[in-house]
């Protein structure tokens, strides 16, 4: 008898089709989140606060309760939801512009307060949905629609290393950066998301995963070129790894 080794996760809606561009890592990230929800049996108790940007589609793709937060406000909403319903599993799924630019106040203070929620941040070094403008994580020299000659240090300053910042805060229980450029890295990303979810389930405080991601459309690259860019340019500056783990702190 044949054994099923691969299936659409239960937490993914079967009546929707992904609208992400070909080669976009958002699709992989959503699948990993869904697999973790399935494996931890969280589908029925999860509530997600989705952001504005390409990540907003999450509420269409997952079979879980969802609230759409205004741009940057996902962690303010997640805070309210979790405080009102501590029995629920609450997570956000946000772009880097949403999380670290307009939403930086909400994001950093949720971590500082040690809110017992999980935040997933998709870092594609640009504002994807609105046409590829310069964002807080845009690399030095990177050409975007609003920096046609490349990100200039004198004018724009340095890009933000989100995970390093979040890891500094006392309220943060877990902070890690992962990449989706290879199969082993995808497997590691899933383990990391699962760990972040488990920390919330154990009531340990704020848990955070930054996912290095592609935006082939706005980078004007093929999916293969986009993953090569993740490897050779993004991972050089945004080094993957666990930056804080409250369980192993000395
Ligand atoms: C208050 C407000 N300001 C600006 C916008 C326009 N806006 C919509 S999506 C977006 C960029 C999102 O970029 P990012 O968070 O990096 O996510 P991505 O689309 O790359 O996944 C912006 C600026 C908005 N919807 N609301
Ligand atoms: S615009 Fe970029 S981030 Fe948005 S779906 Fe397309 S490739 Fe993905």
Ligand 2 pocket test: which of 24, 121, 132 has the largest number of ligand atoms within 8 Å of its C-beta?
24
Sign of CA dihedral 57, 59, 60, 61: positive
Q: Is the CB of 125 under 6 A from ligand 2?
A: no
Domain locations along the chain: 26-126+164-245
Ordered mean pLDDT values, 10 residues apiece, the chain (250 residues): 89 90 96 97 96 92 95 98 98 98 98 98 97 97 97 96 98 98 97 98 98 98 97 98 92
Q: Give the ligand 1 atom nearest the CA of 94.
A: 15
CA of 168 to the centre of ligand 2 (A): 30
Q: What is the DSSP string of 82-146?
A: HHH-TTSEEEEEEEHHIIIIITHHHHHHHHHHT-S-EEEEEE-SSBTTTTSB--TTPPTT--BTT
Triad 21, 234, 48: Cα angle to 5°: 55
pLDDT for residue 250 = 65
Q: What CATH homologous superfamily does 26-126+164-245 map to?
A: Thiamin diphosphate (ThDP)-binding fold, Pyr/PP domains (3.40.50.970)
Question: Measured from the CB, is residue 146 less than 6 Å from ligand 1?
Answer: no
């Amino acid at each position: 008898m044949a054994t099923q080794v691969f299936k659409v996760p239960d937490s993914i809606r079967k009546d929707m089709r992904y609208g992400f561009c070909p080669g976009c890592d958002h699709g992989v990230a959503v699948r990993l989140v869904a697999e973790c929800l399935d494996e931890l049996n969280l589908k029925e108790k999860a509530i997600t606060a989705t952001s504005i940007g390409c990540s907003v589609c999450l509420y269409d793709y997952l079979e879980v309760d969802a609230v759409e937060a205004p741009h940057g406000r996902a962690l303010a909403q997640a805070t309210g939801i979790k405080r009102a319903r501590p029995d629920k599993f609450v997570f956000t799924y946000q772009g880097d512009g949403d999380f670290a630019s307009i939403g930086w106040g909400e994001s950093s203070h949720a971590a500082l307060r040690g809110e017992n929620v999980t935040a997933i941040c998709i870092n594609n070094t640009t504002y994807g949905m609105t046409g590829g403008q310069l964002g807080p994580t845009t690399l030095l020299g990177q050409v975007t629609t609003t920096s046609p000659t490349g990100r200039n240090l004198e004018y724009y300053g340095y890009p933000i290393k989100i995970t390093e910042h979040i890891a500094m805060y006392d309220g943060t229980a877990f902070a890690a950066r992962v990449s989706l450029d290879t199969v082993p890295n995808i497997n590691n990303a899933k383990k990391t998301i699962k760990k972040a979810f488990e920390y919330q389930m154990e009531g340990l405080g704020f848990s955070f995963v930054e996912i290095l991601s592609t935006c082939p459309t706005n980078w004007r690259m093929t999916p293969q070129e986009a993953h090569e860019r993740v490897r050779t340019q993004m991972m050089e500056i945004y080094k993957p790894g666990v930056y804080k783990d409250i369980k192993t702190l000395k």
